[in-house]
Structure 1
Amino acid sequence: MGTFPFHRHAAMPRTTPHRATILQVAREAGVSKTSVSRYFSDERARLSRDMQSRIASAARRLSYHPNQMARGLKGGRSQLIGMLVADIRNPFSVAVMHGVEQACRERGFSLLVCNTDNDPAQEREHLALLASYRVEGLVINAAGQPSRELRALAAQGTPLVLLDRMLSDFEADVVGLDNTQTIDMALDHLRQQGYDNVLYLSEPVAQASSRQARLKHFEQRLADDPTLRGEAHSLALAEDNRLQDVIAGFLSQASGSAPAILCGNGNVTLAVAHALQARGARLGEIGLLGIDELEWCNLVGPGITTLAQPTDAIGRAAVHNLLQRLEEPQRQAPPKRTHYQARLILRGSTCRPNTPDQYDSVSQERP
């Protein structure tokens, strides 16, 4: 029987790629370790342009990246901003996150994002994790009532900004949409288009102050205007049968009126669009208006009219407020409320057939 040769290299352990050190960068650039440390900190301006250029070139050649966590532990600054998102699958959350990240990057900060999946227990765990990373500020889209944990962070000097949702027992800066004005814009537009019977649909409102505010003002408008008929429901979107039943019930009793459905956010708009499609309903004959602009809204039938939130501005404002608090830690300014106006994007879903205000499938915007 033949034998097989033994290859030594086959048994050698795998090696871990070598990570360049600050000392190697200093030697490569012909400068001291202190100079390299200054280059990768707020003291870069103390170095000559020639020295900065040599350090930058050496770092590129060696693929050196400073350990920001170690630097933060040493100097008391992590250069990290934390963001707690209630539902990262929500298009609103993703869009605002982009604005937050852009603003952080422009100011020399990195963004650390945690998704709670609307679970208050996960929210508490993520808050503890973000505290352990010594984030310098926190943007929080609350899923529960984490007031105790937020008070502990605030007591440590961590600035906080509440995104979209307020907490009943914790005061902080709030950035989000003007929910009362948004409902007014939606109902005023539907009335102008000839719709006189409106079904308002929302996801569960229990832990979301923005949803509560929208629902409350919708009900107030119905109470104040006897010429406007309507009803409101909050429901979990996973309950597909219930959504179909609610829509079917509304349309069956809307005979003799011009019915429309107002969706409380993008997730609801998507679910309702599917439900109406399954019924073979024609958009426009049944009005459809959604709060939050989604990329696919101009692709469905004649297009879906939306009230778009200025998500980029909201995200940037949250970071601006955080850094303003961070730069002036001794200034005890009262909490700020920064509320933005939605922008109407008019499409065919709110254009009734055979009316003077009929539009084709081309999207049209109104400020």
Structure 2
Amino acid sequence: MPRRATIIEVAREAGASKTSVSRYFAGERDKLSPALCKRIAAAALRLDYRPNQMARGLKAGRSRLIGMLVADIRNPFSVAVMHGVERACREQGLALLVCNTDNDPELERTHLALMSSYQVEGLVINASGSPDAELQALTGQGLPLVLLDRELSAVQADLVGLDNTRALDLALDHLAEQGYAELLYLSEPPERASPRRERLAHFQAGLATRRLSGEAYTMSGSDKELQRAIKAFLTRSGLERSGNTPRALLCANGAVTLAATRALQRLGVRLGETGLMGIDELDWCALIAPGITTLAQPTEAIGRQAVASLLANSVSQTAVEPRQHRFEPRLIARGSTRLTG
């Protein structure tokens, strides 16, 4: 690996002092003459000199780093929100340091210690466990913190995420209006994440007010088990009524929608005749004929709000009561919730 040029070498090449070169790269060029600035710029170009911004920031007491912990970097929601966070950081002259905890609480604690060692100026966390003690220690040190999507009751911090109540209302209203009377709600284990619990609870509460019947299934086994559960739901007689009433699957997130789509394809089920709807808009949902109905989360806005909350808390001189920033999803209706015949 080629050796990097040093600031002393740039100073020697430019015929300037080390202090002048340091001021040039620290943005204090108004303290230098135009001719000196030109010489320093030319010397840096000839030597291919690039300043160590991390060392410079730490020396000044600022790292210019924002940390972000995601529970599963393979999740399309996490990637989309991360994009919004990164763009907002870039616009503010900040860099983003991302760690994937892989839904491992122990790895999450390790990454939190890593973030602290890098002296990040703020932290966005999509928690996979319950790192209450670690996060309380960080906030006690004055580190701004934002919870993404998942709540931690013992941590006083802003929360940014989907309005889960509104999302389930939109989903149930749409399915009822389309004529589906019996619903199967599919979710990953709800005890592992607060949004899953919120969505499941509102699904169960919202059935009676819309004169719907339904049940929930937690995906914790193999694809074949899910396929058997869906087949049982679709083939048995009415759950609470007689006759062959229209039925639909409501999926709690994008990963569940994908698993349910695969199961329905294997079963040879015709979408629309059996309804299918998912929370989270994924690129492929428009490509599966006749198109899968989704509730699209405003991931860009969620990511940007996370950074805005961090910056607002970092400049506040007094304790601020934590706020929740809940975003409404957008219904994208497609053929999978359109009864045929």
TM range (shorter): over 0.9
Q: Which moved more, 1:83-92 or 1:342-351?
A: 342-351
1:274 maps onto 2:262 in alignment: yes
1:348 maps onto 2:332 in alignment: no
Q: Give secondary structure in 2 for the equivalent of 1:338.
A: strand
Q: Which moved more, 1:66-75 or 1:301-310?
A: 66-75
Q: 1:261 to 1:19 in 2, by over 3 A?
A: same
1:83 maps onto 2:71 in alignment: no
State the Cα deviation string for residues 19-74 of structure 1 (Å, max 9, x = none).
01122333444543333323433545655666556544543443322223322332
State the alpha-carbon separation in 2 of the partners of residues 175 and 257 from structure 1: 39
Q: 1:105 to 1:28 in 2, by over 3 A?
A: farther
State the Cα deviation string for residues 133-184 of structure 1 (Å, max 9, x = none).
1111100000011010001111111100000001121120000000000000
Q: Check whether the contact 1:163–1:318 (CA below 8 A) recurs between aligned residues.
A: yes
Q: Check whether the contact 1:145–1:207 (CA below 8 A) recurs between aligned residues.
A: no
Q: 1:194 to 1:65 in 2, by over 3 A?
A: same
State the alpha-carbon separation in 2 of the partners of residues 49 and 268 from structure 1: 61
Q: Which moved more, 1:241-250 or 1:308-317?
A: 241-250
Q: Give secondary structure in 1 for the equivalent of 2:192.
A: coil
Q: CA RMSD in A?
A: 1.9
1:249 maps onto 2:249 in alignment: no
State the alpha-carbon separation in 1 of the partners of residues 63 and 182 from structure 2: 54
TM-score by length of 1: 0.87
Q: Which moved more, 1:248-257 or 1:31-40?
A: 31-40
From 124, 142, 164, the equivalent of 2:127 is: 142
State the Cα deviation string for residues 179-210 of structure 1 (Å, max 9, x = none).
00000001111111111111111111112111
Q: Check whether the contact 1:283–1:348 (CA below 8 A) recurs between aligned residues.
A: yes
Gaps of 5+ in 2: none
Aligned pairs for 1:276-355 (under 5 A) are 276-328=264-316, 330-354=317-341
State the alpha-carbon separation in 2 of the partners of residues 139 and 75 from structure 1: 23
Identity %: 62
The count of corresponding residues between Structure 1 and Structure 2 is 336
Q: What amino acid is the match of 1:334?
A: E
Q: 1:49 to 1:101 in 2, by over 3 A?
A: farther
State the alpha-carbon separation in 2 of the partners of residues 126 and 351 from structure 1: 46
TM-score by length of 2: 0.93
From 215, 219, 222, the equivalent of 1:235 is: 219
Aligned pairs for 1:153-168 (under 5 A) are 153-168=138-153
State the alpha-carbon separation in 2 of the partners of residues 262 and 143 from structure 1: 24
Q: What amino acid is the match of 2:332?
A: I
Q: Check whether the contact 1:289–1:304 (CA below 8 A) recurs between aligned residues.
A: yes
Q: 1:195 to 1:74 in 2, by over 3 A?
A: same
